[in-house]
Amino acid sequence: MTLPDLSAFDAVVYDLDGTLVDLRVDWNDAASDAAAVLRNAGVDADSLDLWKMLDAADDAGVRDDLERELAAHEREGAWLSDRLPLADHLADDGVPSGVCSLNAEDACRVALDVHDLSDHVDAVVGRDSVATRKPDPEPLLTTLERMAVDPDSAVFVGDSARDEVTADRAGVAFRYVDGGPTGV
């Protein structure tokens, strides 16, 4: 794994899954449970991916129920997660650090606790912490605000094109964890 050079920045915000840890989530099982929540609300979710299911849950008024289902899967995956090499940089970087993730905030906190990283993180923002989710810039900007850091002095490190778009929209420098995107 090639680690990004982060030495030019006064603060670092990390994506979680695929960047600091590898959550062991059965996403097919999570999607199946999310679809069941929507079906119970009268929504046909058969052709929807998880992100569209979240939007459909908003429209159907069952977002909290769907979030509970997804967060349960993510928490379980956090307990079983694997620590990735960049996590060692987080523990040793000596600058303000945060986590901005598409995972539920409490699942992020579980993963950080499991891998003894919580004491090195100044702010955690998950998909359920603010009204929008990546690639909207609000989650990243909220993370930086909670860290009391200006966007122009920070870098966002992630593993997906969605992370890169988030950074661009927030006016924050971006680095891939391993030289290029792994997903959307």
pLDDT (tens digit, 0 to 9) for every residue of the chain, 184 residues total?
666 788 889 999 999 999 999 999 999 999 999 999 999 999 999 899 998 999 999 999 999 999 999 999 999 999 999 999 999 988 888 899 999 999 999 999 999 999 999 999 999 999 999 999 999 999 999 999 999 999 999 999 999 999 999 999 999 999 998 766 665 4
pTM (global) more than 0.75: yes
129 in a structural domain:
yes
Distance from C-alpha of 158 to C-alpha of 98, rounded to nearest angstrom:
12
Who's near 171: CB < 8 A, 6+ residues apart?
137, 151, 152
Which one of the listed residues 10, 15, 59, 82 is annotated catalytic? 15
Say what angle helices 161-170 and 138-147 make with each other, to 10 degrees. Answer: 60
- Catalytic (active site) residue 15: yes
Largest separation between any pair of C-alpha atoms in the chain: 51
Domain that holds residue 93: 9-20+82-174
d(CA 54, CA 127): 10
In a shared domain, residues 58 and 71: yes
On whether both 89 and 50 belong to a single domain, the answer is no
Number of domains in the chain: 2
Cis peptide bond prior to 135, omega within 30° of 0: yes
